[in-house]
């Protein structure tokens, strides 16, 4: 019985962490917003222990800041942080693909896994083109996570996923405030899958390069005093 209880608590802890992460990604919990373990426990109708554990987990992912006396608050990433995230993922992804030859890439990305990735790509592209940020975020994160799992080890894939979550956390408030925010939603997911399907490493790197350039141009726009 103790083992079963541990599994239940662990599952609840993850469920709460996932729910709060979704709240942050959706912009319903804003950067700098404060809350306590008690408030979250009451909100979800659970005990304080799994809530505290979930909040500690999110703090370890740099999504929350912990204050011993005031509880927790949503971490506020800066524009420089965002640029650093884009540059970091660019360096890592470029290093991964430098090791891949065309035939090896084609051998790695085929079958049911690639079908699933393409489905994510189609949904993410559709959401980006329609400006539906709520739908886009989930599909975009799943798209990149599944794609990364095809070509990188799990430690690299997990780190890149963490960077993408953080990038979305930074981006969402600005995109929601900007009347033209929808124009800056990248929608090259299907183009990237096409390049993977062909095993064309150069094309893959080119599409990802365009994606990173797109992100940095948006960052430059945010930093412009004329915005």
pLDDT of residue 98: 79
- On whether both 96 and 196 belong to a single domain, the answer is yes
Q: Write out pLDDT tens, residues 1-57.
A: 333 334 355 689 999 999 999 999 988 889 999 999 999 999 989 999 999 999 999
- On whether both 187 and 218 belong to a single domain, the answer is yes
- On whether both 154 and 190 belong to a single domain, the answer is yes
Range of the domain at 11: 2-74
pLDDT of residue 221: 92
- On whether both 38 and 96 belong to a single domain, the answer is no
- On whether both 105 and 184 belong to a single domain, the answer is yes
pLDDT of residue 179: 86
Place of tokens 């083109």: 129
Which of 29, 55, 74 finishes a domain? 74
- On whether both 128 and 183 belong to a single domain, the answer is yes
Please report how the helices 154-177 and 133-151 are oriented relative to each other, as an axis angle in degrees rounded to 10: 160
Q: Write out pLDDT tens, residues 78-104.
A: 999 999 999 999 999 988 887 776 656
- On whether both 172 and 145 belong to a single domain, the answer is yes
Place of tokens 């896994």: 113
Q: What is the mean pLDDT of the chain?
A: 88
Contacts of residue 160, defined as CB under 8 A and 6 or more positions apart, other chains included, come to 89, 92, 93, 144, 148, 152
pLDDT of residue 226: 57
Number of domains in the chain: 2
Which of 40, 74, 108 finishes a domain? 74
CATH number of residue 35's parent domain: 1.10.10.10
Rounded Cα distance between 108 and 117, Å, is: 13
**Adjacent-strand bridge partners of 67:** 71
CATH number of residue 143's parent domain: 1.20.120.530
Q: Whose CA is closest to 17, among 60, 70, 81?
A: 60
pTM, two decimals, is: 0.88
Higher pLDDT, 150 or 207: 207
Question: Which ranges constitute the DSSP H helices of the chain?
Answer: 2-25, 37-44, 48-60, 79-98, 102-108, 112-130, 133-151, 154-177, 189-198, 201-223
């Amino acid at each position: 019985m103790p083992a079963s209880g541990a599994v239940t608590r662990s599952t609840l802890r993850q469920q709460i962490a996932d729910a709060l992460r979704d709240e942050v990604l959706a912009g319903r919990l804003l950067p700098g917003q404060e809350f306590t373990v008690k408030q979250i426990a009451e909100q979800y109708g659970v005990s304080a222990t799994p809530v505290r554990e979930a909040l500690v987990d999110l703090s370890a992912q740099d999504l929350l800041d912990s204050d011993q006396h005031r509880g927790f608050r949503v971490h506020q990433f800066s524009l420089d942080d965002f640029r650093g995230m884009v540059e970091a993922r660019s360096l890592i992804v470029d290093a991964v693909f430098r090791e891949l030859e065309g035939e090896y890439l084609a051998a790695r990305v085929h079958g049911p896994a690639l079908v699933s990735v393409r489905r994510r790509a189609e949904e993410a592209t559709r959401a980006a083109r329609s400006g539906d940020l709520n739908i886009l975020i989930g599909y975009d994160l799943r798209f990149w996570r599944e794609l990364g799992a095809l070509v990188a080890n799990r430690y690299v894939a997990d780190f890149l996923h963490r960077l993408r979550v953080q990038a979305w956390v930074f981006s969402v408030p600005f995109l929601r405030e900007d009347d033209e925010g929808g124009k800056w939603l990248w929608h090259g997911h299907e183009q990237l899958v096409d390049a993977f399907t062909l095993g064309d490493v150069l094309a893959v790197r080119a599409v990802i390069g365009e994606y990173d350039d797109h992100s940095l141009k948006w960052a430059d726009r945010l930093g412009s005093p004329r915005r």
